[in-house]
Amino acid sequence: MITTEFVIPARAPWSHVIKKGQTMKIIDLEGNQAVDCIFYSAADPDERYSSCETVVRQKNIFLGLGTTLYSNEGRPMLTVVADDVGRHDTHGGACSCESNTLRYGHHTKHQHACVENFIYELGQHGLGKRDVVSNINWFMNVPVLEDGALGIVDGISAPGKSLELRADMDVLCVISNCPQINNPCNGFNPTPVKVVIRN
Amino acid sequence: MPELSTPYAARDHARSMHGARIDAMPTLPVSDAKNLPSDIERSALIWDETLAAGEYTSRVLTRGTRLRMINLQGDACAQFLVHNADRPFERLNVADTVKVQWNAYLGEGKMLLSDMGRVLMSITRDTCGTHDTFSGPSTEWSNAAKYGHGENYSPQPNARDRFLLSLLKFGLGKKDIPASLNFFKGVKIAEDGAMSFIDRASQPGNVLELRAEMNVLVSITNCPHVLDPRPKYTATPLRVIAYRGPLTTPDDPIRNAGPEAQRAFENVDDYFLR
């Protein structure tokens, strides 16, 4: 077995191609660290993860063990084969400098944000802002209450908890290790995460 | 079949259709609109079009324009996208729309937010109350599974491909389709995240009115909801009306609904400063 490990520093972007059949484990090293994530088909990046397609197929807005992530072309991209946490977010999206001004105030305009990471990392692959779609937030807790109330609340992850995905096609994985410091998504303290890829 | 062996005969045949009217079509000139809602000034009209099942339309609306969608018979599903018409790489962001407003269900008084921290449109009137931010558009494969076909050229076209056609006509493409909204059809989210389709979400005559806060490109298609379980492709006509209106004032209730809304409108003001 060939194993490749990466530690993604706190607040940093990361990308890597995961080949069909390989597994990818994401480890929340210090606990409650949101990992914003989008997958693209490595062969044709116009095909990418679709939150709508994924949640409609399983008729549930949370991701967990057994979830298959579907593309905008209706094809399986990856499957969750192990999960210590129980549920992960599909609907909270990525923080951005611009949305931070709405959520917290204009004083947060210059704080680093996930969309900065996403577009920078996509730029390394010839992609850009139009390729940013509703993303996955691994380890992030976003309940929806009876009246529709929705918000990012205290996490249910913990140090060392992880999830593992198996690639069902060759995918480009783009991650923003979330730098947000204005809500509980990172416990107000962004920390590193580890990615382990196995053949 | 008519005998059309010369261009003159073919021309006369084509011209014989002049003035034909059907239920689902655009009204031109728009001032001829029939059954206009009494609260809309005829002189302010910009657009009047009715979409039958599977049909789509798109248009650029300048800021201040009101876009009214009327669920004429109560069983339409208005699948909806909105882009900044001047810079279409700014577009509806459903995640920011629900996250910033702390609620997953849209209704009167809510904003449709862009991915650049601005309000593209706001919901000034809603007599239905049930809409969907989760499911996105119907697709070729979801339609094919229920109806046998889902292509644009089939009798059961899907919303995603309708959006693509709409956007291609403005020089845009697949990359420009973010998660979309569904009006007049809803999904309920249970505590464990389970999604359930809401039957009979709307009544005949239900109205949703949006106010353009920026210059926007709207794409609308009336296709059955992706989770609509009925085996028959069903969507009753959707009427779309747009009319001129004033820009949002500083004392507007939606603008003042909370600090997030105030800043979303401030960001729009800032964008249009010159």
| Mean pLDDT value across residues B140-165 | 97
Per-chain mean pLDDT for chain B: 97
Alpha helices by DSSP H, listed for chain A, are 51-58, 97-103, 114-123
| Cβ–Cβ < 8 Å for B229, B138 | no
Letter string b/e over residues A98-127, b meaning 16 or more CB atoms within 10 A of that residue's CB: bbbbbbbeeebeeebbbbbbbbebbeeeeb
CA closest to B100 among chain A residues? A103
Residue of B87, B89, B98 to mutate, testing the A interface (most A Cβ within 10 Å of its Cβ): B98
Could you read off the pLDDT of B73-132 as tens digits, one per residue? 999 999 999 999 999 999 999 999 999 999 999 999 999 999 999 999 999 999 999 999
Size of interface A-B (CB pairs under 8 A): 136
Q: How many helices (H) and strands (E) does chain B have?
A: 5, 13
Distance from CA of A121 to the nearest CA of B (A): 17
CA closest to A61 among chain B residues? B193
Q: What is the structure's pLDDT at B199?
A: 82
Q: What is the structure's pLDDT at B256?
A: 98
Residues in chain A within 8 Å Cβ distance of B181: none
From first to last of its 199 residues, what are the pLDDT tens digits of chain A?
789 999 999 999 999 999 999 999 999 999 999 999 999 999 999 999 999 999 999 999 999 999 999 999 999 999 999 999 999 999 999 999 999 999 999 999 999 999 999 999 999 999 999 999 999 999 999 999 999 999 999 999 999 999 999 999 999 999 999 999 999 999 999 999 999 999 9
Q: Do A46 and B174 touch (CB under 8 A)?
A: yes
Domain span at residue A124 reads 3-198
Q: How crowded is the C-beta side of B53, counted as CA atoms within 13 Å?
A: 14
Q: pTM of this prediction?
A: 0.96
Q: Which of A101, A130, A144 sits opposite B89 (nearest CB)?
A: A130
Could you read off the pLDDT of B29-62 as tens digits, one per residue? 999 999 999 999 999 999 999 999 999 999 999 9
Residue A62 touches chain B, beta carbons under 8 Å: yes
Q: Do A149 and B118 touch (CB under 8 A)?
A: no
- Under DSSP, the state recorded for B16 is T
Q: How crowded is the C-beta side of A188, counted as CA atoms within 13 Å?
A: 3
Distance from CA of B102 to the nearest CA of A (A): 5
Q: Which of B176, B196, B263 sits opposite A102 (nearest CB)?
A: B263
Letter string b/e over residues B114-136, b meaning 16 or more CB atoms within 10 A of that residue's CB: bbbbbbbbbbbebebebbbbbbb
Residues in chain A within 8 Å Cβ distance of B94: 91, 93, 134
Q: What is the structure's pLDDT at A125?
A: 97
Q: Do A56 and B136 touch (CB under 8 A)?
A: yes
Distance from CA of B45 to the nearest CA of A (A): 33
Report the amino acid identity of residue B242. A
Report the amino acid identity of residue A116. E
ipTM (interface pTM) = 0.95
Is the pLDDT confidence value at B1 over 80?
Answer: no
Q: Do B98 and A61 touch (CB under 8 A)?
A: no
Interfacial A residues in 31-50 facing B (CB < 8 Å): 46, 50
Q: Do A148 and B105 touch (CB under 8 A)?
A: yes
Total residues belonging to chain A: 199
Number of domains in chain A: 1
d(CA A89, CA A95): 13
SS3 at position B160 = helix
Residue of B151, B189, B226 to mutate, testing the A interface (most A Cβ within 10 Å of its Cβ): B189
